[in-house]
Chains A and B, each alone.
Chain A
Amino acid sequence: MTHASVVELYSAVCPWLALVWCLQRVAGLIVPSLRGWALLAVAGAIAVVVLLVPVQGLVMARWVAGLNANFSIPLTVILAVIVWERVFEPSLLAEREWTTAWSFGAIGGLALYPMALGLGSFDPYEWGWPFSPLFVVIGALTVLLIWKQNRFGFLLVLAAVAFQLRLLESTNYWDYLLDPIYSLVSIVWLAGGFVTSMRSSRTKRYSKTLPPNISTI
């Protein structure tokens, strides 16, 4: 198998996981009896078949690659974890590790995309090709997270390994760490969490001001 084939195969992993996750959710609604390994096997097989369906001479997986061929390693692993956690009980990532994952995607995306698309004279994307402060910062963050026993650090190790193996079409380190979908989901997730916590704190303040015999809904 050539390196180009490996890269093409890997580009289908993220779409496959996303499809498996969607099928898991749909199956939960229409075939609730299908659970665990059986559900994973059926959803996985259907997702493979769907991605191999040829349309105008191209399999579906390559149509997806036409839209995005560089799904980041964190997004891929996060999808794998979500698929895993719908099948098995033990959570692979703790609450604080999810927060780290979404924070990394949001902060990284806000640091990268606006400037890379022309806002300001500095293009941080340039830092992803040669050895640069990006590698130092991500290296230090990885060590810190692992030291703090935060498993998101291992996702960053996987991203570094994938970069060394050139698993993506891109040769830029940023693309192994972030992609627009991951960053957008992260920002939406964090914004949703922020709004929820604001509402919650307002409700608490409001209920404190009420007389003891009146409760809020």
Chain B
Amino acid sequence: MKLPEIDLCLIAPEIIVAAFGFFVLLVDVFFSKRENKAYLGWISLVGIFFAGALAVTQAGSVKSGFEGMFISDGYALFFRITFLIIAFLTVLISMGYTQREGIAFGEYYALILFATLGMMLMAAGTHLVIIFLGLETMSISIYILAGMMREDKRSVEAALKYFLLGAFATGFLLYGIALIYGATGSLYLKDVASYIASKNLLRNPMLLMSLVFLTIGFGFKIASVPFHMWTPDVYEGAPTSITAFMATGVKAAGFSALVRVFFSALPGFRPDWTSIMWLIAVATMTVGNIVAISQSNIKRMLAYSSIAHAGYILVAFVAGNDLGVSGILFYLMAYAFMNIGAFTCVILLGKKGEENTLIRDYAGIGFKYPLLSAAMTIFLLSMAGIPPLGGFMAKFYVFSAAVKEKFYWLAILGVLNSAVSVYYYLRVTVLMYFREPEREITGLQFSPAAVAALVLAVIGTLYMGIFPSNVLSFAQKSIAGLM
């Protein structure tokens, strides 16, 4: 019996995140007053910042450890940073919001940290068990976070729905992993790929079934059609800050694992999955955009828009070339900024007992809250893909990747879908600036932390639109070892 090599430096960012999670749980006892819970948020921010700094110091090196189950490569680095940015912004927008909605528990921040840990493991795992455990850590944390507002029926309903369907999807995922093990005898992504290649198992029905199950499992997390139906209900019901976290973090984590597993373990099956993913991408974009049009609640609208964005990202996944995969990373990062930004605006426009999440409520706020509206406009336009904002560059890379691989129809359908999406994004903007308010919204309290998050999100969105090549070249470097 030999003990495994334990390289703690390798997982230092994960350790920091986990340790701060436990620390927050512990010191929660000493901040018994609700007003003081915000300190826990600051502690979490410190932890996230430290983890990010540690992650950055690992840049450039590719190191594998823990019996080859975990890798710290460029890909992991990019996603670690993305997740940590998402977590950072989420904690920032949560501090005022949790106070307002009476869910200011210490566990709230701890769970966000644990969920982030799960995401990081998903992106860095090279063994299916790690990926699965990461996914579960993330999911369970988020089931709980979604149901935090126990007095609100919709929140409880959202949590329960998400939990039931999530468990269902997890079952599929686990079954898929089991079938892979059955067919190849290994759960290491690299071993699976080399075994499949050496034994020519490309027509093995067991592996094909596992492909189906993995598609369902990951498709659920990234909210792709037809595994998307939980999204609007859950996004609407969950606390808004958690909705932002889910829409960006869970989606990014789902994609990180999907790309890693499909491209490193099952590259031989690309001809098989390409056509299915093509179909899913088109269906996801179309359903997301079309249904978003008829929504009257902004959280639901953003939920459908988030489905549509998953579709755009799948376009890049189908393209599957260097530009496409780095486009996925770019897109997820840009989406993190603009989507969290948009949800921050949604949060800031609400107050205790009056959420103001109907799209109607946005009428005429343009002149009452000029900066908030300007920020919201930036995020919406970015999501609609209007230059020079991050969302535009993201779509540009994604669609040009598809064109490069000669998926012309896919690119055309994608562009058409973006055109449709402009309608509902602009509708909010038009309401904000060109309509008289139906009723006065007064007495909003802007928490400084949330405003800081808003500013960061605006900067991020603009930066990625105007200086896209920095992030893109980072993304391109990140996928070096993957493909």
Tell me, yes or no, whether A binds B. Answer: no
Residues of A within 8 A of B (CB): none
